[in-house]
Amino acid sequence: MKIKIPFFLILCIVAFQAKAQYYFYNDEYYDNDLTFEAGISSGPMNCLTDIGGRKGKGAAGFKDLNLNTTKFAGGIYFGALYKHFLGFRLEGTRGMVQAYDSLLKGVKSTAAIGRYNRNLSFRSPITEVSLLTEFYPIAFYKNFDPELPPSSLSPYILGGVGYFHFNPQANLNGQWIDLRPLHTEGEGFAEYPNSKEYNLNQINLSYGFGLAYEISAKFDIKIEYVSRILFTDYLDDVHGRYIDPSVFSKYLSGTQLADALILSDRGRPDALPNENTNHPGGIRGDPNDNDSYFSVNIKVGYIIGRQKISGGNKRFRRQYSSPVRY
């Protein structure tokens, strides 16, 4: 008996320490306070810029979104999740955005006709690396009330910072031409001191929301919306006003000069004078609102950090305890 009592106490201490380190996820797996996840992501990407849009006067936000310009993006990510409610994620994304004034053909409003006659278009590849924070409010609340029923669905909000590269281009005779080297609005020209050259590498701020669903102890799937706030209005190479085309020859030559003269002013030649602004000093874009882009992502993740329960522990688990799920 003297031997059995200390042995029993040792078993109790070991069991208590184990409980402090992890808890049961279900009948098959232990869970930990900190789990990790690696996965892939894919979904549609679109943008809001000075070009294209919908009928009527150009407006900020989704009122001016044209779904016909949607492209697809993909990415990979790695994240960590603490107690199912606070996550951090590093993600790389590759995609494309585009817009065309020509999509406004047939509109009736004067403002939209002006954009249609302007006849600008662009595409830009997007390469982005972002660091995001996720917050799961229901899981956060369940940390204070573990008696709440378990759920495999969990909504979340997210926000963070990103670093991205873009490169606006226009199609000329079947060839995609980089627009930044052409200085289409006189960026960096002495004659236009208020028109500054823009950087193709920028910081953005991300925000959004999503819904996560745990398929199993090892896999989950998420759908989320993420919008990027940009600090540039040159995602589409359009910002302010038309410049005097004769200035281009002072800074450019050869093919670049020819491309700049064509691509800086692509106004429709059959447009009425009052339905176009393609003259020096005329309005080419809206400098009051920066551009933006966004994506809707479907993510599939592999969860790292849950251990398989051994046979003996599994029988104990089924007899004496109930799942702790978020």
Q: What is the pLDDT of residues 30-72, one digit of tens each?
A: 888 899 999 999 999 999 999 987 655 444 456 567 788 999 9
For residue 17, being part of any structural domain is answered with no
- State how far the Cα of 11 lies from the Cα of 8, in Å rounded to an integer: 5
- The pLDDT score that the predictor gives to residue 148 is 66
Three-state DSSP at 223 gives: strand
Q: Is 37 a domain residue?
A: yes
Specify whether the CB–CB gap between 77 and 38 falls below 8 A.
yes
Assign 260 to helix, strand or coil.
helix
Q: The tokens 């808890």 sit on which residue?
A: 23
Residue 32 has a pLDDT of 87
Which pLDDT tens digit goes with each residue over 232-286? 999 999 999 999 999 999 999 999 999 999 999 999 998 888 888 999 999 999 9
Question: pLDDT at position 98, please?
Answer: 96
Is residue 4 a part of any domain in this protein? no
Alpha helix segments (H runs only) across the chain: 4-21, 110-118, 137-142, 248-251, 254-263, 311-320
CB 97 within 8 A of CB 27: no
Is the pTM value of this prediction over 0.85? Answer: no
Q: What pLDDT score does 144 carry? A: 75
Of the listed ranges 6-20, 107-121, 130-144, 234-248, the one predicted with least confidence: 6-20
Give the count of domains, the chain: 1
Q: Which of 121, 122, 111 is nearest to 276 (CA)?
A: 111
The answer to whether residue 175 sits within a structural domain is yes
| Cα–Cα distance for residue pair 226/220, rounded to 1 Å | 19
User: Does any domain span residue 103?
Assistant: yes
Instruction: Give the model's pLDDT for residue 55.
Output: 58
Contact of 217 with 303, CB cutoff 8 Å: yes
pLDDT of residue 107: 74
24: confidence class by pLDDT, cuts 50, 70, 90: low
**Distance separating alpha carbons of residues 241 and 195, to the nearest angstrom:** 9
Given this model, what pLDDT does residue 133 score? 98
pLDDT at position 299 over 90? yes
Residue 313 forms part of a structural domain:
yes
In whole angstroms, give the CA distance from residue 55 to residue 67: 13
Domain that holds residue 128: 23-320
Query: For position 309, what pLDDT does the model report?
Result: 80
* Weakest mean pLDDT among 23-27, 116-120, 282-286: 23-27
Report yes or no on 170 lying in a domain: yes
DSSP reduced 3-state for 13: helix
The model's pLDDT over 219-228, given as tens digits with 9 standing for 90+, comes to 999 999 999 9
**For position 43, which CATH number holds?**
2.40.160.20
Give the pLDDT score at 14: 37
Query: Which DSSP state fits 139?
Result: H
Please say if the pLDDT value at position 211 is more than 50: yes
Please enumerate, as own/partner, the contacts of 136-141 that have beta carbons within 8 Å and a separation of 24 or more: 136/84, 136/85, 136/86, 136/87, 136/212, 136/326, 137/85, 138/326, 139/83, 139/84, 139/85, 139/326, 140/85, 140/86
Confidence of residue 318 (pLDDT cuts 50, 70, 90): very low
Beta strands in the chain (DSSP E): 22-24, 30-32, 34-48, 71-82, 86-100, 121-135, 153-166, 169-172, 175-178, 201-214, 219-230, 292-304
Is residue 266 assigned to a domain? yes
123-181: per-residue pLDDT in tens?
999 999 999 999 999 888 887 776 666 677 899 999 999 999 999 999 999 999 999 99
d(CA 288, CA 313): 64
